[in-house]
Amino acid sequence: MTTSGRAIDCKAFVARLRDEVATSVAALKTRHAVTPGLAVVLVGDDAASSVYVRNKGELAEAVGMHSVTHRLPADTSQEDLAALVRQLNADRSIHGILVQLPLPRGLNADAIIAEIDPNKDVDGLHVVNAGRLSAGLPGLVSCTPAGCMKLLRDEVGDLSGKHAVMVGRSNLMGKPMAQLLLAADCTVTIAHSRTRDLPAVCREADILVVAVGRPEMVKRDWIKPGAVVIDVGINRVPSRDPVKAAQGKTRLVGDVDFADALEAGATVTPVPGGVGLLTVIFLMQNTVKAACMIHGLDESSL
Ligand code: NDP
């Protein structure tokens, strides 16, 4: 087996971003007397969501932000949740609001997202921010695609004229990522579950971004030699060890077969330890951006 590809060191990249965010927060505090504030709202007791929310709160504090977490019971009403969002919209100490998704059954996530002040919508999900992105106007961009884009620029440099294939078209990931690639002058193909001959479409990609939610779907012969592959998928599958698998032990894999991607000569993000790390740090970056927008400050001068 030959492995001519390379795994992207996302940990080192994220460590650099974390330092950058901490520097921006310190500059906002000392030069402008603004402490960026992030509010995370968790409804219900989903174990995975609870871990994500705790990580977000801890990182926000670690980079020097003001951080609040609202934990609400699973039977919270739509109106009570909307009222909390409105209260956070009006709270001058809060610059970023994130309502952890998915919400428990019975709550309408779209209606809640629509309540968030677009200037505090650090998940970039409000239609105003989706519209700003597609119109090329400044706004808040969903954390995972924003992180993937920064990573791509770091890895590839000028993206102009590259053929980028985005597999997946969700509002959270596929659509904003495709818009960002387009804004970077890539030629963009968006593929999805109805795409014909997906392997052939993927083989055309200089840059292949995959956000599908299907374990190790992208195989060696889907990847053009030398392509840069961003694997957004996070899937839990049974452990390789049959004894552990029988005990219910699992492992995380992406949407791309990582060993195959290396064999194909790709530069590829690993799972775990890849794009997932970027998402949380970009939430902090977006909170800094929101604080700058709200206070009329130039983020690049921090
Ligand atoms: P969604 O389920 O919202 O979207 C999945 C997309 O994949 C859809 O557009 C769907 O097409 C497409 N798709 C499904 N099956 C196929 C197939 N066989 N061939 C081609 N396309 C297919 O998922 P998300 O975008 O929210 O997330 C995708 C993955 O990324 C998940 O594993 C999720 O856990 C992970 N994720 C990771 C993040 C991170 O921080 N690393 C953040 C966000 C997501 P169609 O529209 O036609 O149904």
Per-residue pLDDT of the chain (302 residues; tens, 9 = 90+): 556 899 999 999 999 999 999 999 999 999 999 999 999 999 999 988 998 899 999 999 999 999 999 999 999 999 999 999 999 999 999 999 999 999 999 999 999 999 999 999 999 999 999 999 999 999 999 999 999 999 999 999 999 999 999 999 999 999 999 999 999 999 999 999 999 999 999 999 999 999 999 999 999 999 999 999 999 999 999 999 999 999 999 999 999 999 999 999 999 999 999 999 999 999 999 999 999 999 999 998 88
Residue nearest to atom 12 of ligand 1 (CA): 168
pTM for the full predicted model: 0.95
The residues, ordered by sequence, that sit 6+ positions from 38 with a Cβ below 8 Å of its Cβ are 56, 60, 65, 66, 67, 68, 94, 95, 96, 98, 122, 283, 284, 287
Active-site entry in 117, 121, 123, 255: 123
Comparing CA positions, the residue from 268, 247, 134 lying closest to residue 205 is: 268
> Does the CB atom of residue 215 touch ligand 1 within 6 A?
no
Instruction: Clarify whether 260 is annotated catalytic.
Output: no
**Model pLDDT, residue 184:** 97
Write the CB contacts of 166 (distance below 8 Å, at least 6 apart in sequence). 174, 177, 178, 181, 188, 189, 190, 191, 209, 211
The DSSP bridge partners found for residue 209 are 166, 230
The answer to whether residue 87 is catalytic is: no
Cα separation, 283 vs 87, whole angstroms: 21
Domain ranges in the chain with CATH number 3.40.50.10860? 34-120
Q: Is 295 helix (H, G, I), strand (E, B) or coil?
A: helix
DSSP string, 151-212: HHHHHHS--TT-EEEEE---TTTHHHHHHHHHHTT-EEEEE-TT-TTHHHHHHT-SEEEE--
The pLDDT assigned to 2 comes to 57
- If we measure between CA atoms, which residue out of 266, 170, 275, 168 comes closest to residue 219? 266
CATH homologous superfamily of 142-278 equals NAD(P)-binding Rossmann-like Domain (3.40.50.720)
Among 55, 141, 142, 173, name the best residue to mutate to test ligand 1's pocket (greatest count of ligand atoms within 8 A of Cβ). 173
Classify domain 34-120 at the CATH class level. alpha beta
Which residue owns the Cα nearest ligand 1 atom 19? 193
Give the span between the Cα atoms of 302 and 299, in whole angstroms.
6
* SS3 state of residue 4: coil
Does 100 qualify as catalytic in the annotation? yes
Main-chain phi, psi angles of 255, to 5 degrees: -85, -10
For residue 124 and ligand 1, the question of a CB distance below 6 A is answered with no
* CB 142 near ligand 1, within 6 Å: no
Contact present, 255 and 232 (Cβ < 8 Å): yes
Nearest CA to ligand 1 atom 39: 276
Cβ of 60 less than 6 Å from ligand 1: no
Locate CATH 3.40.50.720 in the chain.
142-278
